Amino acid sequence: MSKYPKFAFTTLFSCMVFSSFTWAENQIRLSTLTVEGNELYQEEASEESESYTVNGATVGSKTPATLRDIPQSVSVITHQSIKDQNADTLEEIAENTPGLRMLPNERGRSSVIARGYKYSEYNVDGLPAQMESRLGTMPNLAAFDRIEIMRGPSGLFDASGEMGGIINLIRKRGTDEFQGNAEVSLGTNEQYEAGLDIGSPLNDDGSVRGRLVINGFGETPEETDKSEHHETLYAAVDIDLNDDTTLGLGFLHQARDVTPNNGLPLDANGNLLSLPNHDYYAPSWNSFTMESDDFFADLTHSFANGGYGKVGMRYRENTSDWNYMYAGSAISSTDTVSMLPYAGDVEQKAFVVDASYSQPFDFMGTISEFVMGADYKKFEDDRREYKSRAGTTYAVSDLSSIAYYDILATNGASSYSNVQREETGLYGKLTLRPIANLAIIAGGRASQWDITNTNKLTDSTTKRSDNKAIWYGGAVYDLDDSHSLYASASELYVPQEYVDANGDVLDPREGKQVELGIKSSYLDDAIQARFSLYQIDDKNAWGVNSSREFIATGKRRMQGAEIEIIGQVTEDFKVIAGYSYIDTDIIEESSYDVLISYMPEHMFNLWGSYQVNEKLNVGLGLNTLSKIENDSGADASAYEVVNAMMSYQFTPELSAQLNIDNLLNEKYYARVGDSGQFNIPGAERAAKATIRYQF
């Protein structure tokens, strides 16, 4: 183990021990749940405070619960944390969040990984839709108040998700009083950003409230020397139909226009190229665009008996178009490289409805709770692509002058499919507290799937129907007012639409996780900490063999440990810190198995901000990863990146902020791929200055 993981363990363990001795005796753990209802349903948005913590979360639990009462690993990234890091997209937050790994590409086309698995969806207020790096559907953050992140599978409430967990974004809502924020940013690499965020009551009594967010940002990377642009338009209205019933409506438009850059090829000896390297191994006309539109509606009602009902709906359409070439080989000894064409247009649709009811009740003198509900999901993916494994050799010096051509129009589609996936589910969860300091949680879900896969090139259709019941169990035991032991077992079962060489649909993907640990909270939840151990077994994940045929892989196992501390250590000092360890293995082989190489064995993240005085705030962060190994044989060395922030409040309305990423200008590879692509250098030192005005 390197000195950095040792330092991480020592520092975080010391902080937890010190915290327990210092604050435990002053901590009083108060329940947020009574027979009259769940107080966390009324929790304010995180933008209302400057805290790095919130009282509760809904991810993985459906009803809001304190993080100590959820027997899985959950983190919440608040509005203040997003603001201090000056993050515009989800992957920027993932890069600084303990236990998460960001595989970089262009902004919006990167991947976020937890416990060895890519997130394939993101939820908005608990309602999922597809997320795929190559389609650029990584969300911008301007429309969201906070981010809830759960690590590990949760098939109970999201049976279509991934083994790595769930990301749930909480929308900004209309406000009781008028508020506004305008900001402008400029930075190195021609970075720019401009945004406007306004919330206000729309009638005299405030029963109708609105929100409007407009945001645009971009930059000109040195490698491509072409401007990139990302935009967000968000509008929402919340209407109190009566004292107990609220209707919420929202619309979100996101778009991006970027130049694909698949990174650097290896040299003639199979080694990574030396850094710094700003060469662009592709034609200058490479292009990619994405647009998405989301529509939201939810109706909530608080019942007189303490029950709470909610019906939510999300409909999304997104389109992605790309036309580019990338290196398909290492650089030869004669300084040539084989270039591969890739083009496509994809249209996705998602329609999700979820209805749930929760009810607290008295059980053996303590307050217990149940939640029951039903959901319906329909995902559609219409995808036309041309991708060739037969490359054309060019001199490296001639790549930028390759003549433009429309790859799809010239070659036609090599694949053209329409996949429709429908799922109907019933779920329930019961939380019993036989004694005051013990919660026993049990849940189940029954799902019915119908999958239709149409090959539009051969006009053939494959259909599959499936049903499955899965179970969930967990327990939380309060050792004292500051510390809770927890354990849980969760499942995931996902039918697949991929067809093998024999025309058969791959077997469903199945996964199980066992997790146990300890969670702590201090200073009335101002500081939250956890230590987690987990094991995930995953079977039948799809893969592509050397003949480019889909195949179900064997059984893989992920085992690891995580430590995380988030919160306000003192009145002026806030911190996010964490360490993660992972070990991967194949325990049941198939004809084609590849160990997941997304995650380094060790990762350590640290971000802290200190309020020097009422006007000046400074921040400092450290991200360090151990060696990154890859099946291609190209391994990247461990690295450490330091980030910094300084903000100054000139007046109550006017402030300025300076963020410097990679302060020490570390040269490193943030990602390694194969011989020709996805060997991506980490971003070099960059500065971004922001002026904000609140009104």
For residue range 423-471, what is the model confidence (pLDDT) as tens digits? 999 999 999 999 989 999 999 999 999 999 999 999 999 888 989 898 9
Residue 165 sits at φ, ψ, to 5 deg, of 130, -155
Predicted local distance difference test score (pLDDT) of residue 160: 60
Which H or E run includes 11?
A: helix 3-23
C-beta separation of 566 from 527 below 8 A: yes
Neighbours of 642 (CB within 10 A): 18
For residue range 478-492, what is the model confidence (pLDDT) as tens digits? 999 999 999 999 888
CA distances from 86 to 93, 437, 565 (A): 9, 40, 21
The single-letter DSSP state of residue 285 is T
For residue range 605-627, what is the model confidence (pLDDT) as tens digits? 999 999 999 999 999 999 999 99
Q: Is 287 or 16 the better-scoring residue by pLDDT? A: 287
C-alpha–C-alpha distance, residues 570 and 610, integer Å: 9
Closest CA to 139 of 167, 164, 161: 167
The percent helix, strand, coil of the chain (3-state, each to 5) is 10, 55, 35
Closest CA to 152 of 160, 161, 143: 161
The arithmetic mean of pLDDT across residues 384-406, rounded, is: 94
pLDDT band at 567 (very low <50, low <70, confident <90, very high): very high
Neighbours of 585 (CB within 10 A): 10
pLDDT band at 394 (very low <50, low <70, confident <90, very high): very high
Residue 25 sits at φ, ψ, to 5 deg, of -70, -15
C-alpha–C-alpha distance, residues 79 and 181, integer Å: 13
Predicted local distance difference test score (pLDDT) of residue 525: 82
Torsion of CA 552, 555, 561, 565, to 10 degrees: 30
CATH topology of domain 3-694: Maltoporin; Chain A (2.40.170)
pTM > 0.75: yes or no: yes
C-alpha–C-alpha distance, residues 293 and 287, integer Å: 21
Residue 604: left if φ>0, alpha if ψ -120 to 50, beta else—which one? beta
C-alpha–C-alpha distance, residues 424 and 4, integer Å: 47
Query: Would you state the structure tokens that stand for residue 636, as one six-digit string?
Result: 């990247």
SS3 41: helix
C-beta separation of 97 from 149 below 8 A: yes
Among 244-253, 282-291, 363-372, the range scoring the smallest mean pLDDT is 363-372
Query: Would you state the structure tokens that stand for residue 618, as one six-digit string?
Result: 């400074």
Domain ranges in the chain are 3-694
Please check the confidence at residue 344 and state whether its pLDDT lies above 50: yes
C-alpha–C-alpha distance, residues 354 and 157, integer Å: 10
Closest CA to 189 of 684, 669, 667: 684
Exposed e or buried b for every residue in 318-343, given b needs 16+ CB within 10 A? bbbbbbbbbbbbbbeeeebbbbbbbb
For residue range 14-55, what is the model confidence (pLDDT) as tens digits? 444 444 434 434 444 445 666 676 777 777 899 998 899 988
Please check the confidence at residue 366 and state whether its pLDDT lies above 90: no
* DSSP structure string for 167-219: EEEEEP---SS-EEEEEEEEETTTEEEEEEEEEEESSTTSSEEEEEEEEEEEE
Predicted local distance difference test score (pLDDT) of residue 18: 40
**How many residues comprise the chain?**
695
* DSSP structure string for 113-127: EETTEE--EEEETTE
pLDDT band at 6 (very low <50, low <70, confident <90, very high): very low
The answer for residues whose C-beta is within 8 angstroms of residue 630's C-beta and 6 or more apart is 597, 636, 672, 673, 674
Sign of CA dihedral 125, 126, 132, 135: negative
Which H or E run includes 573?
A: strand 573-588
Please check the confidence at residue 227 and state whether its pLDDT lies above 90: no
The answer for residues whose C-beta is within 8 angstroms of residue 403's C-beta and 6 or more apart is none
C-alpha radius of gyration, the chain, whole number: 25
Query: Would you state the structure tokens that stand for residue 626, as one six-digit string?
Result: 């151990």
pLDDT band at 161 (very low <50, low <70, confident <90, very high): low
C-beta separation of 308 from 360 below 8 A: no
Predicted local distance difference test score (pLDDT) of residue 12: 43
Neighbours of 224 (CB within 10 A): 19
Query: Would you state the structure tokens that stand for residue 71, as one six-digit string?
Result: 């027997």
Mean pLDDT computed over every residue of the chain: 89
The CA-based angle 325-326-332, given to 5 degrees, is 125
Predicted local distance difference test score (pLDDT) of residue 591: 60
Please check the confidence at residue 300 and state whether its pLDDT lies above 60: yes
